[in-house]
Amino acid sequence: MNKSELIDAIAESAGLSKAAAGKALDATIEAITGALQGGQEVTLVGFGSFYVAEREARTGRNPRTGESIKIEAAKQPKFRAGKSLKDAVQ
């Protein structure tokens, strides 16, 4: 499912116009992104949690040349599925 298909599903399920559903989805994504940028975790009970994980610096290897390279530390957004979502998928 891509973004436009998700907007269509939201519009149909909630009885909204596609434009309103698109604005709602965009606002949700912006709110989650803003919270993660601020270092907060976003928890949707039953669905899951969005959080930022810190990855430590490490040494990697260039597969083409075999040369060792330094990989810098990074922050990475992650998602942890909730119990209800896990149960619904199984």
What are the tens digits of pLDDT across the range 69-84?
A: 999 999 999 999 999 9
Burial degree of 7 (CB within 10 A; 0-12, 13-18, 19+): buried
pLDDT of residue 70: 95
pLDDT of residue 72: 96
- Chain Cα centroid distance, residue 34: 12
Instruction: Tell me the pTM.
Output: 0.81
What is the overall mean pLDDT for the chain?
96
Contacts of 4 (CB under 8 A, 6+ apart): none
Please state the domain extents for the chain: 1-39, 41-90
Q: Which CATH architecture has domain 41-90?
A: Irregular (4.10)
C-beta separation of 32 from 42 below 8 A: yes
